Chain A
């Protein structure tokens, strides 16, 4: 005989009963049972009492043979739970990095290796057209505001991922992108009466994950006596006496050799990537102390985290966090608990303004290989401002890194306070209050003697200073009541909850230029272009939520939820909206015995959730210029949250005692997107307005397979395979096709929004790749023919790169690829690529033998194009590695004009579209846990465990992509646009970690 019990994880108002609910069957002979946070009193065997979150006198879970517990999550919805053990297989600086590959449908993209930079996270693709795809983050039951970098991975107990609107319907207008709920550690995880102290120290090094390797040969004519000089001496140029190659002063012009092959050597070679990106170290010191004293338990921790990245002259990211969590059971039915967090962090952005303009990284690649960037300036400042007089527009990246400071300092206080009352074993009442207070100070400082260019000559800029201070205060207040009861074969429960969410934010920014004297950093000393901005916003939201569940004989599971939420982000007309979910599951194996199948469950769900418009979208925006006030944005009082409707169906099978398989099909349609539109001219001076328009449909397949391949006393091997395939399309757009950014933002100009199109589709020009294609456009060719017959296909051949050229020109300066034309003879502007991958697969392997363990996480992204703007820009400056002909055999050599045609003055064309497929060994960890008897003998019982870990991250990537790394995206909002333009290169890292428990 087995008994079925219900554990209710009550987190916050939002904390769905259903996803957190666990059904546990207990063998009859089991005398006690505990589950992570919750304990169950089995005294008497027939009267089972749930003591939710209350440390009691019962025996602990560790005393219960694991074989006697069969636990299965409620599976009417797609919710992945990632426990502490899974999260900490590899030590991660950020909890989000640790999530990669842990849940189907969860895409964690690290667009760069920049310290302190958040990865882009999306659940089941991108349901927002232009808004952020970032899911809602709930930390210890409260909505997390501000940056998420303050979350320290060591403090995490578990993460739950609610993958789609159906799962996150209770989050109403904030649940459209899915929800990630994070719980931090508390003392009640410890055995009662036990105190535990944990030290973890990790030290590691970062290195650039790849190199661009620009060209190291040129096509210029060299002087006949070049061999007598240490600098590259060009023909036709007169050099002053004593010239060393690092200063201007020469006269004349260097010219290309006739063949224009970049195969001539520079007199000196410097590896600028090594100099600018030498690699740095990182460090984590973590200590936690916790105790379970029965009625009272606590967990306190301190973390010192330093991540220096790989850039020279930049400190990167620093974080100190201090946490105290405790629970106190005042009486058996009443428990109060609190989590308190203080975090202080500091981020240095590389090279000040260079970080946003990619100047640092682009310049590193644009520098001539013979430019020595380590020599001093004439005024004695380190790192010559213009290291190569031939390219005076390329500022030394080391100079920018050293000279310009761009720092952001944050302080965060956060607390969650909760009281929980259990009445008559049926009714739970919970009250929660949480707050977050976040202050941010950002400064960008260029000293007085910072060089700038004036008429191509370096002069002192006299400096500039930008200061921005902001503060954010948010609070959540919640009251909920939940009840559960059995009615014969039916177990049912419900919850009602009210949540008030308040958030206020204010910032002031000041900017000015030209200090009156050297050595000062005061805003008052600035003399020109001074400006000051203030911003303030307040957002209030209310949520009334309810849910119910019922299940019949462990076989039929039904779950429903509603949320009625209102937010001040919408004006009165669109303020309040209802959201709902209904889901059900059928456990087939309760009716049918299938050989080898332990559990089979079919489930379906339908739900709605939304995404709120931005704060300023409902207001008119004015700009003031020269004393004139001009309305630039029209407010929209009708704005409402976007509406996502998701239907999902899933199948879960546990088989052969050690396999667990899940497959889910989801279709999500999000309408009423918040889009920025330019209004027709008749609206006068009002030019922009945010409207509800357009619909995006996302269809996904998700599958996962978990297998305990080997499970013996000494040897364990398990693997997890996660697969997803996501297709997204703009199914309706009530406005003309547009590009997803304002004109002039060149980086996005290759991406189009149009009805029927996939977001992430790239548009541009393309090149003829076969004679068949060429035949079709002979009649409309606009090629300037001179000596060949442009109307005859015999005049064309396909060259060694696979592009159609005029016959006979291969390898010469006349070799020009042919652009595809439309029927009118004009260059054809059409779809040239698609950033969306065919599918992604993660394979994690965990093997342990006698205390020695190894863990590896492989990620395979199949398909998905990347627009390599970095390479295109390098081609335009004759710096692209592909253009280096030194090692090419004669028959493959190409001249500069050939590549210049592909460069095409930076217009988007398919030559720069590359396959972004990759296979990445994302994590590899080797660890050793010292045997307990050895530790006992050695430490006389003080040391409970000692674990050594060697961890490598991103050490191996197999890809055809020619950039630093194929993990590319444009921005968080446009994370489906793989656009690569000289960002902070990805890092690979190696670290050693020592973990001691007392």
Chain B
């Protein structure tokens, strides 16, 4: 068995074995979404985000892929949320991976995380992913990790980072106001 150890990227820099795409890192501010388009090369698509924050309260950071040049409306990855009630037990927060409610956010709240999509350009239908990280909600840290599979016979060729409420897919006109997003590929 071969075990590959992957070290997530630090803010503003690339990690070993990862080739940043042109335009990465990005430090978005004053825009509601960030689209990385025309991604190609390597086998795996790797994104990391650190210190990312929204100027509007009650928002969750989301990521969705572009498939065959189109940002679809259904393939959504929940990247982080800002839950109310800092100090609540981790158990209460963990439920956000299945359901989100009562989101809240203050200026100091940020989120960080990592997304890996394996064989993202594959046209053999299955492209599995894992996403993990944390959101800072006041005095609390919310950790999350989950995985899944995209099922599509076209390649993934882009990533859109945007804000939503409740963890659903409707994009909100809410702007980034801090943070760094890295996108790269690895063999």
Asked if A and B bind, the verdict is no
